[in-house]
Amino acid sequence: MQFWLSTIVIFFVQETAFITSRIVVLYGQGVNPWLLHFLFIFATTCDIFIGFAIGQYLHKRFLHGSRFELWVKKEAKFLKQHHWGYLLTLSGVVNFPYVNAILGSWMDLPFWRVFVATLIGDSVSYALYWGFALGIVHLSINIYLGIAIALTALLFLMALLRKYIFRARFQ
């Protein structure tokens, strides 16, 4: 029970080394991978919802009309709304989902755009975690094959992102 509780906490926190090591341990014990996928998507969705709500609260309560907000909006003026989607997706690979959701809500992006962009970015990082975990579990002699699998998944997801999600043209 304590092991699964710590697994749930690790998936909510989404720290790279902990998730990869937990995937290696659970996959090595024969746990169904679909259970881990569901847990990751559920935790990421909850993180995005909570982060977006916190971002809206912070924006309305503390930062609305502040000098800091005006400075950031002036510096980020060249980014249109669809550019923010790209930025959130790319930062989702290396950033936490609640941080991306706070940033997206603070920049007045619609929730669905923040949700999709952050979920795709975190899915890419999750695919990388699995690539490393499979490289460690199955190919412990050759970890480079696991990295190649992870990079192939990354390129595939980025191609899907470019083709179907963000069809806006750069102006």
Task: Tell me the pLDDT tens digit for each residue of 51-97.
Answer: 999 988 887 877 767 777 777 677 666 666 557 777 778 878 878 88
- 132 vs 77, higher pLDDT: 132
d(C-alpha 61, C-alpha 98), whole Å: 18
The answer to whether position 22 is within a domain reads: yes
Report which of 95, 106, 101, 90 is spatially closest to residue 162, judged by C-alpha positions: 90
The answer to whether position 161 is within a domain reads: yes
Query: pLDDT tier at 169 (50, 70, 90 boundaries)?
Result: very low
The answer to whether position 171 is within a domain reads: no
Distances (CA, A) of 125 to 14, 32, 60, 114: 10, 20, 31, 17
The answer to whether position 155 is within a domain reads: yes
Query: Would you give the end-to-end CA distance of the chain in angstroms?
Result: 54
The answer to whether position 47 is within a domain reads: yes
The answer to whether position 6 is within a domain reads: yes
Maximal CA-CA distance, the chain = 56
DSSP assignment letter at 171: -
Task: Give the whole-number percent of the chain exceeding pLDDT 90.
Answer: 7
d(C-alpha 83, C-alpha 64), whole Å: 22
The overall average pLDDT reported for the chain is 76
Q: What is the pLDDT of residue 136?
A: 64
Q: What is the pLDDT of residue 25?
A: 78
The answer to whether 103 touches 55, Cβ cutoff 8 Å, is yes
Burial of 79 (0-12, 13-18, 19+ CB in 10 A): middle
DSSP assignment letter at 28: H
The answer to whether position 138 is within a domain reads: yes
> Each residue of 133-159: pLDDT tens digit?
776 666 555 556 655 666 677 677 767
> Each residue of 28-56: pLDDT tens digit?
788 888 988 898 899 899 999 999 999 88
Name the residue range of residue 101's domain. Answer: 2-165
This prediction's pTM = 0.70
Query: What's the total number of domains in the chain?
Result: 1
Residues 6+ apart with CB under 8 A from 88: 100, 103, 104, 109, 113, 114, 117, 118, 121
